[in-house]
Chains A and B, each alone.
Chain A
Amino acid sequence: MASRLPPPYTALTRHPMLPHASHDEAARFNFLAHFNRYLTDMIGPGNRLAYEKRVLPAFRAEHGRDPTHRHEIRDAMNRDSWHRTWSALKRNSMEMRQHYGRQMVLRQLDELDAMARQYNEHSGMLELDPSIRQPEYQTLVDIHCQPGGYHGEERPGDVTVGANYDVGLFATTGGALGGLNDGGGQAVVQWIKGERPDWTPRRILDIGCTVGHNIVPIAQAFPEAEVIAIDTAAASLRYGAARAAALGVTNIRFIQASGEDLSRWEDGYFDWVQTTMFLHELSATALPHILAEAYRVLAPGGMMLHIEQPQYSDDMPLFEQFLRDWDAFNNNEPFWSAMHEQDLKRLLAETGLPPESLFVANVRAVVDESLFPPSPDGSKEDYGRAAIWNAYGAWKPLNKAEAA
């Protein structure tokens, strides 16, 4: 049993930019890591019981049929007292995670801001562009209930939202992302090294990098590569660039830019275009724009890779789709529902990628398992937060002339 429990917060790798956690601040995050796991293990199964024992029978009695869409299940479950109670617990745990992270960060903001400035001035890895506006899909609500979203400032030039994002990933995932919260990036590295051991991409683009936690391991795995990590949010980039510098990384440039307009890079500039848990935070209009731009800047022979939770397919039971949709309506992830309904392979094909170039791979967080237990799966999976993903990707075909 103990092997499956979350590690203590102090197991995180304390890089110089990571806010210092006092004894009790670490203890609060320990509580949340365990509380979230308990909600999933012990309380969450009540949702299925409530559904099967009373919500579904009542639905059948009323409609004379089974639900045909996850939204019908959601409407019915939202009237059930148990599901509402469970949602209240889960919503509170998300809000507490934000509150605790912000208390930790804000009380030491002077030190964090000063250190970030120092790293960023010396490294030259940060390039901000004040003309970049936050897209509407980033500002309608604060995504996953993070006050200020990815872009908000408590004062000009601060690193609050980036630092808070970094410290709290531990609590939300129960440590499933590893010591540097980089289990996703590590998983991508392990996958590509197994898939194409001899491949050496020259230029890599990460779109929607936030604090760069997933691009850092990729940059470290390909130290000769020129890595560009973009995001619209300066507040996250300031922290991310300083964090990467503090970890000794030198081959990433963090640039404030929108994935919808990559015009500063010519066609075919990058050998690898990556997004990690990013596409679900866009909008129905922005998603195809970004994929089209990603296709344009991808070199023939290069790879596009998008890490996401599994899409809602006809094979996925409606009840699981309903559970996976919870964050859209209860944790400020407003594009989560529509995005997971999309056929990503079809969207990728619409950019011009031939169907035979597309693939879907399963990846799991790669972590130091002596300290960090693997993410629970199956019936114990915390839907939407498990460190288990699908990688939707494609190898862009070589031009006919180059292939000949």
Chain B
Amino acid sequence: MTDDIDWIKLSGRRAKGRRPRFFNDPALDLLYSTVLALTAEVSALRERQDTLERLIEKHGVMTRAEIESYEPDHRAGEERGLATRAFIARVMRGFQQEVEAMESSDPPIDDIVAQLSRK
């Protein structure tokens, strides 16, 4: 560990250059950064849990050193890749369904409500 620098503070340093603003409300830009970072953390937690389960199954015992040095073999790497893909699909559902929505052309629900009230 490097002690004479604040690695947590330094690692978060911004890149020079004005950041594009993607949304009309700047709070939304900030919210995206937090949601995505949390998403990554959940993904990392799941991966760690997967490691634990594999090691427990393999040995029946567990040490932190074993977790730190665990490397998925080719098959485990693929299995975990699939699981990550499925996880991302859950978190990203809203965006992915928006793509589907753009492919179709559903009228507003108000129109349906009005339509059904008439006949």
Contact digits for A121-148, partner B, Cβ 8 Å, 1 yes 0 no: 0000000000000000001111001111
User: By the criterion CB–CB under 8 Å, are A141 and B44 in contact?
Assistant: no
When distances are taken between beta carbons in the complex, the residues of chain A under 8 Å from B15 are: 95, 98, 141-142, 145-147, 332
Which A129-169 residues have C-beta < 8 A from chain B? 139-142, 145-149, 154-155
Q: Which of A45, A86, A95 has the most CB of B within 10 A?
A: A95
Query: Which of the residues B10, B70, B85 comes within 8 Å of A102, measured between beta carbons?
Result: B10
Task: Give Cα A109–Cα B10 distance, bound, in whole angstroms.
Answer: 12
Knowing A38-B92, A88-B23, A102-B10, the reply to whether A142 touches B36 (Cβ < 8 A) is no
Knowing A24-B48, A49-B103, the reply to whether A5 touches B85 (Cβ < 8 A) is yes
A38 closest partner in B (C-beta): B88
Determine if A329 is an interface residue (Cβ-Cβ < 8 Å). yes
Interface size on B, residues (CB 8 A): 55
Size bin of chain A's contact surface: 35 or more
Task: Give Cα A40–Cα B14 distance, bound, in whole angstroms.
Answer: 25
User: By the criterion CB–CB under 8 Å, are A23 and B22 in contact?
Assistant: no
Determine if A371 is an interface residue (Cβ-Cβ < 8 Å). yes
User: By the criterion CB–CB under 8 Å, are B22 and A87 in contact?
Assistant: yes
User: By the criterion CB–CB under 8 Å, are A27 and B47 in contact?
Assistant: yes
When distances are taken between beta carbons in the complex, the residues of chain A under 8 Å from B96 are: 42-43
Task: Give Cα A31–Cα B82 distance, bound, in whole angstroms.
Answer: 11
Query: Which of the residues B10, B16, B37 comes within 8 Å of A141, measured between beta carbons?
Result: B16
Determine if B61 is an interface residue (Cβ-Cβ < 8 Å). no
Determine if A118 is an interface residue (Cβ-Cβ < 8 Å). no
Task: Give Cα A148–Cα B4 distance, bound, in whole angstroms.
Answer: 19
Task: Give Cα A53–Cα B104 distance, bound, in whole angstroms.
Answer: 10
A22 closest partner in B (C-beta): B68
User: By the criterion CB–CB under 8 Å, are A34 and B84 in contact?
Assistant: yes
When distances are taken between beta carbons in the complex, the residues of chain A under 8 Å from B40 are: 28, 31-32, 35, 96, 100
Contact digits for B72-102, partner A, Cβ 8 Å, 1 yes 0 no: 1010111011101100110010011011001
Knowing A5-B81, A30-B84, A32-B40, the reply to whether A23 touches B67 (Cβ < 8 A) is yes
When distances are taken between beta carbons in the complex, the residues of chain B under 8 Å from A42 are: 89, 92, 95-96, 99
Determine if B109 is an interface residue (Cβ-Cβ < 8 Å). no
When distances are taken between beta carbons in the complex, the residues of chain B under 8 Å from A27 are: 43-44, 47-48
Determine if A107 is an interface residue (Cβ-Cβ < 8 Å). yes
User: By the criterion CB–CB under 8 Å, are A93 and B7 in contact?
Assistant: no
Q: How far is the CB of B24 from chain A (nearest CB, A)?
A: 9
Q: Is the interface of B mostly helix, strand, loop or mixed?
A: helix
Determine if B29 is an interface residue (Cβ-Cβ < 8 Å). yes
Q: Which of A139, A142, A371 has the most CB of B within 10 A?
A: A142
Contact digits for B34-76, partner A, Cβ 8 Å, 1 yes 0 no: 0011011101100110010000000000000001101110101
Q: How far is the CB of A6 from chain B (nearest CB, A)?
A: 6
A146 closest partner in B (C-beta): B15
Determine if A184 is an interface residue (Cβ-Cβ < 8 Å). no
When distances are taken between beta carbons in the complex, the residues of chain A under 8 Å from B113 are: none
B29 closest partner in A (C-beta): A88
User: By the criterion CB–CB under 8 Å, are A34 and B88 in contact?
Assistant: yes
Task: Give Cα A5–Cα B81 distance, bound, in whole angstroms.
Answer: 6
Knowing A27-B43, A53-B102, the reply to whether A10 touches B32 (Cβ < 8 A) is no
Task: Give Cα A201–Cα B18 distance, bound, in whole angstroms.
Answer: 44
Contact digits for A89-117, partner B, Cβ 8 Å, 1 yes 0 no: 10111011011101101111111000000
Task: Give Cα A8–Cα B92 distance, bound, in whole angstroms.
Answer: 21
Determine if A69 is an interface residue (Cβ-Cβ < 8 Å). no
Determine if B107 is an interface residue (Cβ-Cβ < 8 Å). no
Determine if A7 is an interface residue (Cβ-Cβ < 8 Å). yes
| Beyond A1-B82, A2-B81, 17 extra complex contacts between A and B, CB < 8 Å | A7-B81, A8-B76, A23-B47, A24-B47, A28-B43, A31-B40, A34-B43, A34-B81, A35-B39, A42-B92, A43-B95, A46-B98, A50-B102, A92-B36, A105-B11, A107-B2, A107-B7
Residues of B near any A CB (own CB < 8 A) = 1-5, 7-8, 10-17, 19-20, 22-23, 29, 32-33, 36-37, 39-41, 43-44, 47-48, 51, 67-68, 70-72, 74, 76-78, 80-82, 84-85, 88-89, 92, 95-96, 98-99, 102-103
A-B contacts, 7 listed (Cβ < 8 Å): A22-B68, A30-B80, A31-B43, A84-B22, A88-B23, A91-B22, A332-B15
Residues of A near any B CB (own CB < 8 A) = 1-2, 5-8, 10-11, 22-24, 27-28, 30-32, 34-35, 38, 42-43, 45-46, 49-50, 53, 82, 84-89, 91-93, 95-96, 98-100, 102-103, 105-111, 139-142, 145-149, 154-155, 329-330, 332, 370-371
Nearest 5 CB-CB pairings of A with B: A141-B17, A106-B7, A5-B81, A27-B47, A102-B11
